Structure 1
Amino acid sequence: MITKIDNTIKYGKQHGGFGIQILYPGLIRPQLHDTGFSTIGRIDHAYITPGTVIPMHPHKEDEILTYLRSGKVNHLDSEGHTAILSNQKLMMMNAGSKFSHEERVLEEGGILQGMQIFIRPEVSNLPPQVQFYDLPEIYSVNQWRKIAGSGADYPLQIRSSTWLLDLRLEAGKEIHLPQSPCENVVFLFYVFDGKVTIEDHLILNSGESALIEEDSPTFRATETTDIVLFSTKTDALHFDGGMYIGNLQ
């Protein structure tokens, strides 16, 4: 089964130069009474102007991936880390029991476009930690690249049954889903920028996504497209009482 998630389901927020479109993926299954979908709590697609400062603020029980495609950010956190994040330097903040951070969008990087992805941990009250990863290349062209997940073969670790991959699919090229990491897995196929068709009839534009359950469709790029792929177990153990990954219903 393939379920399209278009941009009308998103919530928009704008404050000065800070703008985000928020996807609560569980809203496509209202009968489940959960704004998240299994371990996937919330996905923010951000557009932020240079010079914008997101002041020091707390997180609790959130597993947070910062994934940028343009712009640069000066990061500072309560664990003592400082770093410049970019489209080649990613960050995973495993907030755990207590964590705070500040982000300053740098002038030199231009307008920031990226995602902040909020994942649910297996259990609460885990110790806070911060991970960084330098991508060998900005884009992984026409093949899936492992970014973050549960397992030693993922460079950034998520503390639940969740896996994130990405790729840049060139215009006219086709791709299929990667091998499932385990049983009872569903995929959330997110078009960061571009346009793809699924099985030559379902169209996904920038910011749109599709939930793929028990199918292995063909995806074809009608223009060069950047994609982020989420997978999670439908029966995964997870804690949904976190600050940003919590169930709003």
Structure 2
Amino acid sequence: MDDSPSAQTYPRIHTAPRTDISQNQGKFRIHFNFPGRAVPHYDDHGYGPLATVVESFMDPGTLIRMHQHRNEEIISWVPDGVMRHDDRQGNELVTDPSHLMVMNAGSGFWHAEETLAGDPPLRMLQIFVRPHSLDLDPDIQHESIPDSVANEWRHLFGPEGTDAPLYVRNDVDFYDCRLDAGATTTLPSRPGWHTYLYVFDGAVEVGDELVRYTESALVIGDDDVAVTAAEDATVVAFTINPDAPITRQGTIGR
């Protein structure tokens, strides 16, 4: 059976448990969620241009020293708390529930991350997108985002030229949603694209599949799929063009 993205012509839901791929650096801990690993016999840890979704923890008073990324788009989504950023371009930025940051690393971007001693413990997602081309011009985007509305998807980034507040340089859209227990919405979709969902908090039913805290589901196909909250839940979703041209030379998101 051919399980490649282009071979799937009907909706199929692949669920994945909490990842067991982690790194523990004491005050900084990360868990790597690889969307391609949800699909049996699929030969890529990523899925098209979406390389990995990293659950990151930073204790108060943590500094990740200046370091370089290349050839990846890195998105920092912070639903609670603050993540403090500075870089060699002179930016000092705070990403929090009202702001989203996209680092278009391109040919090279140096940055550091920090939480101060008085900051709350931080749990966030750092999303790694494979760009369509190598050694693009480096840039950083840091923008206010619309207030979330309960039980509605919020479109936060997309390919260049979309109406999302921020962009990445490949065919991925990103949405988040806070669902009240019992509420139902429709999973974001685009014709010919597939959708990856990650449960940040709570639990939801994706079609007939129960997906719990830190678990995920990859929906292959673009038909409407219901998402119902089994309890209060915060979820994110990515619509992905599985046939988009990709590069695989990112510092982390290969």
Question: TM over 0.5: same fold?
Answer: yes
Unaligned residue ranges in structure 1 (runs of 5+): none
User: Displacement of 1:48 after TM fit?
Assistant: 1.6
Instruction: Choose the corresponding residue for 1:190, options 192, 198, 206.
Output: 198
TM-score by length of 2: 0.90
Q: Tell me the SS of whatever aligns to 1:26.
A: helix
Q: Hey, what does 1:147 align to over in structure 2?
A: 156
For the aligned residue pairs, the C-alpha RMSD in angstroms reads 1.5
Contact 2:188/2:237, CA 8 A, preserved across alignment? no
For the residues of structure 2 that align with 1:33 and 1:81, how far apart are their CA atoms? 39
Inter-partner Cα distance in structure 2 for 1:10 and 1:184: 31
- 1:88 is aligned to 2:98: yes
Counterparts in 2 of 1:58-73, with a 5 A limit? Answer: 58-73=68-83
- Check if 1:237 corresponds to 2:245: yes
Compute the displacement of 1:230 (Å): 0.6
CA contact (8 A) 2:102 2:142 kept: yes
Alignment of 1:91-130 (within 5 A): 91-130=101-140
Q: Which residue of 2 aligns with 1:218?
A: 226
Distance in 2, matches of 1:128 and 1:22, equals 24
Residue 86 of structure 1 and its aligned partner are, at CA, apart by 1.1
Q: Distance in 2 between matches of 1:34 and 1:131?
A: 29
Secondary structure of 2:203's aligned partner: strand
Residue pairs, 1:152-171, within 5 angstroms? 152-171=162-181
Residue of structure 2 in register with 1:36 after alignment: 46
* Kept after mapping to 1: 8 A contact 2:128/2:253: yes
TM-score (norm 1): 0.92
Measured against aligned partners, the alpha-carbon deviations of 1:136-160 in whole angstroms (never above 9, x if no partner) come to: 32x3311111101113301111000
Cα distance in 2 for partners of 1:80, 1:194 equals 38
User: Aligned in 2, Cα 1:33/1:178: closer, same or farther, shift over 3 Å?
Assistant: closer
CA distance in 2, matches of 1:238, 1:24: 16
**Counterparts of residues 16-55 of structure 1 (less than 5 Å):** 16-29=26-39, 31-55=41-65
1:223 aligned counterpart, secondary structure: coil
1:206 equivalent in structure 2: 213
Which of 180, 183, 186 pairs up with 1:173? 183
Q: CA deviation at 1:179?
A: 4.4
Moved beyond 4 Å, runs of 4+: none
Question: Which letter does structure 1 place at the counterpart of 2:31?
Answer: Q
Q: For residues 44 and 231 of structure 2, what CA distance do their matches in structure 1 show? A: 34
Q: How many residues align?
A: 241
Identity in percent: 32
> For residue 244 of structure 1, what is the amino acid of its counterpart?
I
Secondary structure of 2:251 counterpart = coil
- Tell me if structure 1 keeps the 8 A contact 2:176–2:237: yes
Tell me the distance in 2 between the aligned counterparts of 1:232 and 1:171: 27
